[in-house]
Chains A and B, each alone.
Chain A
Amino acid sequence: MSASSLNVEELKAAHQGKDRFEMPDFYGIDDLLSEEHILIRNSVRDWVKRELSPVIENYAQEAAFPHHLIKGLAEIGAFGPQLPVEYGCGGLDYTAYGLIMQEIERGDSGIRSTASVQGSLVMYPIFKFGTEEQKRKFLPKLASGEMMGCFGLTEPDHGSNPAGMTTHFVEDGDDVILNGAKMWISNAPFADVAVVWAKNEEGKIKGIIVERGMEGFTTPETHNKWSLRASATGELVFDNVRVPKSNIFPEVSGLKGPLTCLNSARYGISWGALGAAMDCYDTALCYSKQRVQFGRPIAGFQLQQKKLAEMVTEITKAQLLVWRLGNLMNEGKATPAQISMAKRNNVEIALNIAREARQMLGGMGITGEFPIMRHMANLESVVTYEGTHDIHLLILGHEVTGENAFF
Chain B
Amino acid sequence: MNILVCISVVPDTTTKITFTDNNSQFNREGVQFIINPYDELALTRALEITEKSGGEVTVIHVGGVENEPSIRKALAIGAHKAIRINKNPNDAQEAASEIANYAKDKGYDMILTGRESIDYNSGQVCGLLGAMLSLPSINVVMGLDVVDGQAVLTRDIDGGRETISCGLPLVASAQKDLVEPRIPNMRGIMAARTKPLEVLEPTGESNFSAHQSYDLPEPKSAVKMISPDNAGELIRLLREEAKII
A residues with CB within 8 A of B: 20, 22, 35-36, 38-40, 43, 46-47, 50, 75-77, 81, 85, 90-92
Q: Which residues of the partner chain B approach A75 to less than 8 Å between Cβ atoms? A: 185-187
Q: Which of B69-77, B105-113, B133-141, B202-210 contacts A (4 or more CB under 8 A)?
A: B69-77
- Contact of A22 with B183 in the complex, beta carbons under 8 Å: no
- From A36, A47, A81, A90, give the contact of B183 (CB < 8 A): A47
- Given A50-B183, A77-B185, check contact A38 B69 (CB 8 Å): yes
Q: How far is the CB of A102 from the nearest CB of chain B, in Å?
A: 15
When chains A and B are docked, how far (Å) is the Cα of A341 from the Cα of B189? Answer: 32
Q: Which residues of the partner chain A approach B73 to less than 8 Å between Cβ atoms? A: 39
- Contact of A46 with B190 in the complex, beta carbons under 8 Å: no
- Contact of B190 with A39 in the complex, beta carbons under 8 Å: no
Q: Which residues of the partner chain A approach B185 to less than 8 Å between Cβ atoms? A: 43, 75-77
When chains A and B are docked, how far (Å) is the Cα of A76 from the Cα of B76? Answer: 12
Q: Which residues of the partner chain A approach B187 to less than 8 Å between Cβ atoms? A: 75
Q: Which residues of the partner chain A approach B14 to less than 8 Å between Cβ atoms? A: 20, 22
B residues with CB within 8 A of A: 14, 68-69, 72-73, 76, 183-187, 189-190, 193
When chains A and B are docked, how far (Å) is the Cα of A91 from the Cα of B186? Answer: 10
When chains A and B are docked, how far (Å) is the Cα of A146 from the Cα of B189? Answer: 21
- Contact of B184 with A39 in the complex, beta carbons under 8 Å: yes
Name the residue on A nearest B186 (C-beta).
A77
- From A39, A81, A91, give the contact of B76 (CB < 8 A): A39
- Contact of A91 with B190 in the complex, beta carbons under 8 Å: yes
When chains A and B are docked, how far (Å) is the Cα of A400 from the Cα of B69? Answer: 43
- Contact of B190 with A90 in the complex, beta carbons under 8 Å: yes
Q: Which residues of the partner chain B approach A46 to less than 8 Å between Cβ atoms? A: 183
When chains A and B are docked, how far (Å) is the Cα of A101 from the Cα of B240? Answer: 57
When chains A and B are docked, how far (Å) is the Cα of A291 from the Cα of B183? Answer: 34
A85-B190, A90-B190 known; 11 other A-B pairs, CB under 8 Å? Answer: A20-B14, A39-B184, A43-B183, A43-B184, A43-B185, A47-B183, A50-B183, A75-B186, A77-B186, A77-B189, A92-B190
When chains A and B are docked, how far (Å) is the Cα of A50 from the Cα of B183? Answer: 9
- Contact of A76 with B72 in the complex, beta carbons under 8 Å: no
Q: Which residues of the partner chain B approach A38 to less than 8 Å between Cβ atoms? A: 69
- Given A50-B183, A76-B183, check contact A43 B189 (CB 8 Å): yes
When chains A and B are docked, how far (Å) is the Cα of A375 from the Cα of B69? Answer: 32
Q: List 26 A-B contacts (CB under 8 A).
A: A20-B14, A22-B14, A35-B69, A35-B72, A36-B193, A38-B69, A39-B69, A39-B72, A39-B76, A40-B186, A43-B76, A43-B183, A43-B184, A43-B189, A46-B183, A50-B183, A75-B185, A75-B187, A76-B183, A76-B186, A77-B185, A77-B186, A81-B186, A90-B186, A90-B190, A92-B190
When chains A and B are docked, how far (Å) is the Cα of A91 from the Cα of B193? Answer: 12
Name the residue on B nearest A88 (C-beta).
B187
Name the residue on B nearest A85 (C-beta).
B190
When chains A and B are docked, how far (Å) is the Cα of A75 from the Cα of B189? Answer: 11
Q: Which residues of the partner chain B approach A39 to less than 8 Å between Cβ atoms? A: 69, 72-73, 76, 184, 189
Q: Which residues of the partner chain A approach B72 to less than 8 Å between Cβ atoms? A: 35-36, 39
Q: Which residues of the partner chain A approach B184 to less than 8 Å between Cβ atoms? A: 39, 43
Q: How far is the CB of B69 from the nearest CB of chain A, in Å?
A: 5
- The CB with the most chain A CB atoms within 10 A, among B69, B187, B189, is that of B189
Q: Which residues of the partner chain B approach A22 to less than 8 Å between Cβ atoms? A: 14
Q: How far is the CB of A49 from the nearest CB of chain B, in Å?
A: 9
When chains A and B are docked, how far (Å) is the Cα of A76 from the Cα of B189? Answer: 9
Q: How far is the CB of A99 from the nearest CB of chain B, in Å?
A: 12
When chains A and B are docked, how far (Å) is the Cα of A331 from the Cα of B143? Answer: 50
Q: Which residues of the partner chain B approach A20 to less than 8 Å between Cβ atoms? A: 14
Q: Which residues of the partner chain A approach B193 to less than 8 Å between Cβ atoms? A: 36
Q: Which residues of the partner chain B approach A81 to less than 8 Å between Cβ atoms? A: 186
Q: How far is the CB of A36 from the nearest CB of chain B, in Å?
A: 7
Q: Which residues of the partner chain A approach B183 to less than 8 Å between Cβ atoms? A: 43, 46-47, 50, 76
Q: How far is the CB of B195 from the nearest CB of chain A, in Å?
A: 13
When chains A and B are docked, how far (Å) is the Cα of A38 from the Cα of B68? Answer: 13
- Contact of B69 with A40 in the complex, beta carbons under 8 Å: no
Q: How far is the CB of B7 from the nearest CB of chain A, in Å?
A: 15
